């Protein structure tokens, strides 16, 4: 059995995670021929617990959610930057530092790509609609736009152009240490990154979990769970 730890969002009453992330992880089981068990990680400020969490599971999914506090990448907060969650930001950065050290498989979606970038010293566009001369990407998640892919991601998909949904107002600005850009939208916004030397540290800006039946979404989750299986072995 493969275990996949997922990071939750913080609410007024506790923590939560959209069922679509759990369902997406479960949808990948047939591709690896193993039972998959998604697990929600409790948020903690105890660094000794964070270290234990980083050792306990076969792979880690950094999910979507609110904006990352710009103090973590050395910037003042933009007026259109959302209200951050200090508890989640602090936990995820500490966890990612441990996962990088241990070379554990990590996959990020939406906020996930942003946090994975910040944890490696990268920066973000706090609001692409006002900071870049591009159309806002925060729209109906059912709408699609063209994304141009390259390198290992193009090899995985078997094509250099794909259609993805668009549901974000922040994006990677300067990639963090070791990260390479593998996809951009038509207007140049970074849509996917992967680490050049870690076994599996990959993230996308779109939401593949919203359409797990799509061929691109299937290939992403299959590759992630294959990395989890290899890590377990």
Q: Phi and psi of 161, rounded to 5°? A: -130, 130
Region of 188 on the Ramachandran plot (φ > 0 left; ψ -120 to 50 alpha; else beta) = left
Tokens at 175, concatenated: 């990639």
Tokens at 149, concatenated: 């892919």
How far is CA 208 from each of CA 63, 166, 189, rounded to the nearest angstrom?
A: 11, 10, 17
167 secondary structure, DSSP code: B
| 3 state SS for 42-73 | CCCCCHHHHHHHHHHCCEEEECCCCCCCHHHH
b (16+ CB within 10 A) / e for 139-164: eeeeeebebebeeebbebbeeeebeb
| 3 state SS for 17-43 | CCHHHHHHHHHCHHHHCCCEEEEECCC
> 13 Cβ partners below 8 Å, 6+ apart?
none
Residues belonging to the active site: 110, 207, 209
């Amino acid at each position: 059995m493969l275990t996949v730890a997922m990071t939750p969002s913080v609410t007024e009453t506790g923590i939560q995670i959209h069922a679509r992330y759990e369902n997406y992880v479960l949808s990948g089981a047939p591709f690896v021929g193993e039972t998959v068990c998604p697990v929600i990680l409790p948020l903690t400020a105890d660094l000794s617990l964070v270290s234990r969490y980083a050792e306990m599971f076969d792979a880690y999914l950094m999910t979507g959610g609110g904006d990352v506090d710009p103090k973590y990448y050395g910037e003042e907060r933009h007026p259109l930057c959302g209200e951050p969650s200090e508890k989640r930001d602090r936990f995820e950065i500490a966890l990612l530092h441990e996962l990088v050290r241990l070379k554990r498989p990590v996959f990020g979606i939406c906020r996930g790509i942003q946090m994975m970038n910040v944890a490696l010293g990268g920066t973000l566009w706090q609001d692409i609609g006002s900071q870049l001369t591009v159309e806002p990407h925060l729209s109906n998640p059912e709408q699609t736009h063209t994304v141009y892919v390259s390198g290992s991601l193009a090899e995985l998909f078997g094509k250099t152009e794909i259609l993805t949904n668009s549901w974000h107002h922040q994006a990677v600005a300067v990639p963090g240490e070791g990260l390479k850009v593998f996809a951009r939208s038509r207007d140049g916004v970074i849509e996917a990154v992967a680490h050049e030397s870690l076994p599996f540290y990959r993230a996308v800006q779109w939401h593949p979990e919203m359409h797990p039946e799509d061929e691109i979404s299937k290939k992403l989750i299959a590759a992630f769970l294959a990395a989890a299986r290899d890590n377990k072995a």
